[in-house]
Each structure stands twice: as structure tokens, then as C-alpha cells.
């Protein structure tokens, strides 16, 4: 079952896609978009999480640039638009909007009060920053682009964080991966998993680098992580 949630901030209102499980009460997961907006891939992830027993909420984080972005990774024109949006996006405002989403979701009827976050690509970086800057209960970052610039923020981390790294990620070079691993792999709140041979977005169904086996492995790890930290 899906619905639309309106989130109010001092800067304006924005919408979020909500998928609900069959249970009357459940923990929630905020799903943080890639550079293609709240598209079918993100809605499918929400629906999948609802099927696993979570209230899943995907906020429109591009609303400050243009509300309602819904594009794919299937054409050159869409990729061009996606990178325009990425370059125009303000990370700090994005994290503030996620914090507002987490606060709104905690108050939703049917939510236990526990809220996690999972993000992909741009959303992977935002999931890391959500873990360090907000009161989210647990976060998962998939192939986050730019985390190496923010690793010092891990000092503020008080809740569990799971990071998935694609070892052949074209957007997260080997040097960046070294910085991330050196800074974070021994942190008591952080689990890091690397995926040999995988490129960026290996878990994006229908994407050029999708790998069903490793997507399933990462998904299983994420599900176990959320069940243990949001239950």
C-alpha cells in the first residue's frame, strides 16, 4: 500500500513516497534517492522494504531545484539532466531535509518510533551524513560518492552504520576507497563490506552494472542490519 507524505520545513514543503507493510505497526526506513529523483527504482526499493516489514519513505530531495524529478538511467539526455541536478544539489540542505523527513516519519501513525535510512549513489553519501548529523537509529550507505571528503564526521557517529563499497566503482576511485577504509573500518559503530569486481550501482535493477548475486548479498546484509537495529 502506498501513499504520499507532505513534509514541512521553514523553507517550504516537499513530498515523499510512502510504502506500508501489512503489519499495523512497524519500524521505518527513509530511502535516499540517487541522482534520478524519486523514480521507479526508488519506489520499487520502498515497496520491497514494505514487503520485508518496514514503513518505507522516499523524500523528494531535489524539490529545491525542481519538484517531482522522475527520470531513468536509460538515455543520454536523462544522464545529462541527472548530472545537472547533482551539480546543483546542496548537500547540507539535503541532510536538513532528510532530518525533517526522519522527524515526520517518527510521528506517522503505524511507525514504532525507530527510523533507519538507506541511500544509494548521491544517497549513499547522504546516508553517511544522515548517520553523523541526525538522530536516525541506523543507516546503510550503498556506493556513496564523496564520503572520503567527510570521514572526519565519523567522530560524531553514535548509531550503527553499514557501508557497501564497489571495488571497481568508477565514481569512487581506489584512492578514495583507501581513505574511507583507513578512516572507518575500525570504527566501533561501522561495518564496511567491499564487493570485488563490482562497479557503481551494482544493486540498481536494470542498470548497466547490476549484479544480481552481489545485490542480493548486500540486500541480505542490509536487511539483517536493519532488523537487529530497528527491531
Distance CA 49, CA 227 (A): 11
E strand residue ranges, 122-189: 138-142, 161-166
Active site residue 200: yes
Give 76-100 as a DSSP string. Answer: HHHHHHHHHHHHH--HHHHHHHHHH
Distance CA 173, CA 27 (A): 35
C-alpha distances in angstroms, 8 versus 14, 111, 201? 7, 19, 31
Q: What is the dihedral of CA 92, 98, 99, 105, to 10 degrees?
A: 170
Helix H or strand E encompassing 16: strand 12-19
The single residue listed with the C-alpha cell 544522464 is 79
The CA distance from 139 to 130, in Å, is 7
Catalytic residue among 169, 199, 211, 214: 169
Per-position b or e across 164-191, b if 16+ CB within 10 A of its CB: bbbeebebbeeebbebbbebbeeeeebe
Known active-site residue 169: yes
Q: Name the catalytic one among 164, 199, 200, 214.
A: 200
Q: What residues are annotated to the active site?
A: 169, 200
Amino acid at each position: 500500500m502506498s501513499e504520499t507524505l507532505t513534509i514541512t520545513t521553514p523553507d517550504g514543503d516537499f513530498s515523499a513516497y510512502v510504502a506500508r507493510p501489512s503489519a499495523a505497526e512497524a519500524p521505518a526506513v527513509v530511502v535516499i534517492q540517487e541522482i534520478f529523483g524519486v523514480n521507479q527504482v526508488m519506489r520499487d526499493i520502498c515497496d520491497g522494504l514494505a514487503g520485508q516489514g518496514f514503513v518505507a519513505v522516499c523524500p523528494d530531495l531535489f524539490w529545491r531545484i525542481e519538484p517531482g524529478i522522475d527520470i531513468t538511467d536509460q538515455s543520454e539526455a536523462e544522464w545529462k539532466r541527472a548530472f545537472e541536478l547533482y551539480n546543483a544539489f546542496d548537500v547540507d540542505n539535503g541532510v536538513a531535509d532528510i532530518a525533517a523527513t526522519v522527524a515526520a516519519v517518527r510521528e506517522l501513525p503505524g511507525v514504532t518510533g525507530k527510523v533507519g535510512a538507506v541511500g544509494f549513489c548521491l544517497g549513499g553519501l547522504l546516508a553517511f551524513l544522515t548517520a553523523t548529523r541526525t538522530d536516525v537509529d541506523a543507516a546503510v550507505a550503498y556506493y556513496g560518492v564523496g564520503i572520503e571528503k567527510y570521514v572526519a564526521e565519523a567522530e560524531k557517529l553514535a548509531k550503527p552504520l553499514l557501508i557497501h563499497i564497489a571495488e571497481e566503482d568508477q565514481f569512487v576511485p581506489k584512492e578514495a576507497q583507501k581513505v574511507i577504509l583507513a578512516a572507518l573500518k575500525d570504527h566501533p559503530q561501522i561495518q564496511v563490506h567491499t564487493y570485488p569486481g563490482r562497479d557503481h550501482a551494482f544493486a540498481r535493477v536494470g542498470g548497466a552494472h547490476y549484479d544480481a548475486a552481489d545485490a542480493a548479498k548486500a540486500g541480505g546484509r542490509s536487511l539483517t542490519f536493519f532488523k537487529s537495529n530497528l527491531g
